[in-house]
Amino acid sequence: MHAFRQAVEQRDEDAIAALLAEDVVFTSPIAFKPYPGKAITAAILRAVMRVFDDFTYVREIADPEGRDHALVFTATVDGKRIQGCDFLHLDEDGKIDDFTVMVRPLSAAQALAAAMGAQFDRIAQEAAEAADA
């Protein structure tokens, strides 16, 4: 099991952040532009843990080199069942430097967009505080 999966399943925010490279790029299923940097990515992932209910990884796929991982998940957001996949790429140090999320169906993606939109001010504040630390 990939360490990121284990950290998420244990809801260990510090362990999740520790697995992110400083220059990680997070590509959201609902935002047009990617988010660069560890502080914003960690803040987004904390928000996701707040808005998802019944989150479960159901499958893990890794390349033979161990640098690319696909973690398939299910969850509920605002009463809608969502299915998605976290695509992770690891740098030479084993840190996540590229993180892309895809979700379906559209109605659940829209519910996710609304729920994350409601978290945006808190996400921005947390990221700013972490960047200043």
**CA 55 to CA 45: how far, in whole Å?**
13
Confidence of residue 2 (pLDDT cuts 50, 70, 90): confident
DSSP of 70-133: EEEEEEEETTEEEEEEEEEEE-TTS-EEEEEEEEE-HHHHHHHHHHHHHHHHHHHHHHHHHHH-
**pLDDT attached to residue 1:** 57
Predicted TM-score (pTM) of this structure: 0.94
pLDDT tens by residue, 34-67: 999 999 999 999 999 999 999 999 999 999 988 9
Please choose, from the candidates 28, 40, 20, 7, the residue with its C-alpha nearest in 3D space to the C-alpha of residue 97: 20
